Chain A
């Protein structure tokens, strides 16, 4: 519900080998970016990501790599 400019590259990467499918990232993400598919978390919709980084922080195995979206893209907060 905020303005969003879609970044040219995918900026959230999940290391599928490390992921155990605990679902913690799904629990904390307000944008519902992740989904469990075959007991592994997958990025299904990074558009609208709030860039709060909670997903990479809560991941117990550090499987989520959060790169910052390219300059000038991503979420825009007007009333911050």
Chain B
């Protein structure tokens, strides 16, 4: 009998299994793909200061990232934002440079990272079983006592850790997932192209472009660069991000419009297969700021996207592993013991950050009021959480960054008045350039 079963070899599942095995537990890691990381859709950027994780998580991350292709420098030196009108024409753009010494951002493919984590986990003594989906929980005396696979096999364990992604069969079967508010679900559709490094240097060259506008993205459309195992090429991913209720057309419609924007055409012209034959298309849903109300039950812990705690190095996996070890040591796998996991998470830096964001999302409703644009922005200011970018920006552009970040965050709410807002921004931008302050803020 296993001490612990981890369902799902994503970033946090592999991490949790690694830490369990490290603590000497007999651990089984289950993955429905043929190899770990096969079902991971997103490529990812991580700022160094974002790694709010516990030291062991950060250490492992540092160790793994050495061995996989990743980009740090000279990546994301510049950020560019383009506002696009109804005719797919860029009406307003701005960009800013992040000072070299203040920036450290990593970019990599999550599947590569997960494979690295999984290798470390197997080394530490985890038993990995792939091509195995978990379809149900095994119950004994109204306590979770293991899982049932898609082949009908029953595998008992003292503790089950559910890390089976946003749709989480296990968390649903345990009755932990309530009706999810769609306003908190982010939908992402993306297409990946390959570009030669030389050509990349002439076009994108470390700038992160984001497109905003009613026809190209309900929320935002970034173009992101990721490394490949071949040193001469990069993967370019264009994404359409949206909150689920804001998706008024098919994601492909937005993507087609985005590809019609002149700036996008120029930037991606050298990419192989652009615009019609992407190397890969992918779609995903996740919830960035709404952890489950209850992330545990007798014999079960929920981590990762399943628990509403996304993030490749989120420390929840470490807390879950620590608590599992303690529970098995004491022989007490009941709720009373396991609730300490949630407590620990909520008290952690990451937990507090997520909570702050969740509150901000709720109070953002204030910005919904029927007001002229400048008042609306003021409301956004009042209701916004204290935005702290993970990169230190020069003081001179701090106010602009803050405002635009808020605009970015609450964009779906003021979507209908986009042009109104843009006019306001344009008008005030001049005064900002002159006096380094927005007029409405005086």
Q: Which residues of A contact B (CB under 8 A)?
A: 1-2, 26-32, 50-54, 56-58, 66-72, 74-80
| B282 interfacial by beta-carbon distance below 8 Å | yes
Q: Judge whether B244 and A72 touch: CB under 8 Å.
A: no
Please, how many angstroms separate the alpha-carbon atoms of A31 and B284 in the complex? 12
7 contacts between A and B (CB under 8 A): A30-B281, A50-B281, A54-B283, A58-B182, A68-B133, A69-B32, A79-B235
Contact of A71 among B150, B185, B247 (CB under 8 A): B150
| B375 interfacial by beta-carbon distance below 8 Å | no
- Greatest chain B CB density within 10 A among A51, A67, A70, A80 is at A80
Q: Which residue of A lies closest to B251 (CB)?
A: A30
Please, how many angstroms separate the alpha-carbon atoms of A53 and B165 in the complex? 11
Please, how many angstroms separate the alpha-carbon atoms of A1 and B42 in the complex? 16
- Greatest chain B CB density within 10 A among A30, A68, A69, A78 is at A30
Known: A1-B277, A70-B133, A72-B32. A78 touches B247 (CB 8 A): no
| B427 interfacial by beta-carbon distance below 8 Å | no
Shortest beta-carbon distance from A68 to chain B in Å:
5
Q: Judge whether B226 and A79 touch: CB under 8 Å.
A: yes
Known: A28-B250, A57-B180, A77-B38. A72 touches B130 (CB 8 A): yes
Please, how many angstroms separate the alpha-carbon atoms of A69 and B132 in the complex? 10
Which residues of B in the span 43-84 have a Cβ within 8 Å of any Cβ on A? 43
What 1/0 mask marks residues of chain B from 166 to 192 whose CB sits below 8 Å from any chain A CB?
110100000000001010010101011
Q: Judge whether A71 and B43 touch: CB under 8 Å.
A: no
Please, how many angstroms separate the alpha-carbon atoms of A40 and B228 in the complex? 44
Interface size on B, residues (CB 8 A): 51
Contact of B187 among A28, A72, A76, A80 (CB under 8 A): A28
Q: Judge whether A57 and B285 touch: CB under 8 Å.
A: yes
Please, how many angstroms separate the alpha-carbon atoms of A30 and B37 in the complex? 22
Known: A57-B185, A68-B135, A71-B133. A30 touches B40 (CB 8 A): no
Q: Judge whether B42 and A80 touch: CB under 8 Å.
A: yes
Please, how many angstroms separate the alpha-carbon atoms of A26 and B248 in the complex? 11
> What are the residues of chain B within 8 A of A56 when measuring CB–CB?
167
- Greatest chain B CB density within 10 A among A26, A27, A28, A31 is at A28
Please, how many angstroms separate the alpha-carbon atoms of A38 and B293 in the complex? 40
> What are the residues of chain B within 8 A of A31 when measuring CB–CB?
283
Please, how many angstroms separate the alpha-carbon atoms of A71 and B132 in the complex? 4
Contact of B280 among A1, A27, A70, A71 (CB under 8 A): A1
Q: Judge whether A52 and B250 touch: CB under 8 Å.
A: no
Q: Judge whether A76 and B244 touch: CB under 8 Å.
A: no
- Classify the secondary structure of A's interface with B: loop
> What are the residues of chain A within 8 A of B180 when measuring CB–CB?
57
Q: Judge whether B283 and A30 touch: CB under 8 Å.
A: yes
> What are the residues of chain A within 8 A of B93 when measuring CB–CB?
none
| B34 interfacial by beta-carbon distance below 8 Å | yes
Which residues of B in the span 297-313 have a Cβ within 8 Å of any Cβ on A? none
Contact of B282 among A27, A57, A80 (CB under 8 A): A80
Q: Which residue of A lies closest to B281 (CB)?
A: A1
Q: Judge whether A28 and B247 touch: CB under 8 Å.
A: yes
Q: Which residue of B lies closest to A58 (CB)?
A: B244
Shortest beta-carbon distance from B155 to chain A in Å:
13
Q: Which residue of A lies closest to B31 (CB)?
A: A71
> What are the residues of chain B within 8 A of A27 when measuring CB–CB?
247-250
Q: Judge whether A54 and B285 touch: CB under 8 Å.
A: yes
Q: Judge whether A1 and B189 touch: CB under 8 Å.
A: no
> What are the residues of chain B within 8 A of A66 when measuring CB–CB?
167
> What are the residues of chain B within 8 A of A1 when measuring CB–CB?
191, 277-281
Shortest beta-carbon distance from B375 to chain A in Å:
33
| B131 interfacial by beta-carbon distance below 8 Å | yes
Please, how many angstroms separate the alpha-carbon atoms of A66 and B279 in the complex? 27
| B355 interfacial by beta-carbon distance below 8 Å | no
> What are the residues of chain A within 8 A of B37 when measuring CB–CB?
80
> What are the residues of chain B within 8 A of A68 when measuring CB–CB?
32, 133, 135, 150, 167, 169
What 1/0 mask marks residues of chain B from 147 to 174 whose CB sits below 8 Å from any chain A CB?
0011100000000000000110100000
Q: Judge whether A71 and B149 touch: CB under 8 Å.
A: yes
Q: Judge whether B167 and A79 touch: CB under 8 Å.
A: no
Q: Which residue of B lies closest to A49 (CB)?
A: B283
> What are the residues of chain A within 8 A of B43 when measuring CB–CB?
79-80
Shortest beta-carbon distance from B174 to chain A in Å:
16
Please, how many angstroms separate the alpha-carbon atoms of A56 and B179 in the complex? 12
Q: Which residue of A lies closest to B112 (CB)?
A: A80
Known: A27-B247, A50-B284. A80 touches B40 (CB 8 A): yes
Please, how many angstroms separate the alpha-carbon atoms of A26 and B249 in the complex? 9
Q: Judge whether A76 and B282 touch: CB under 8 Å.
A: no
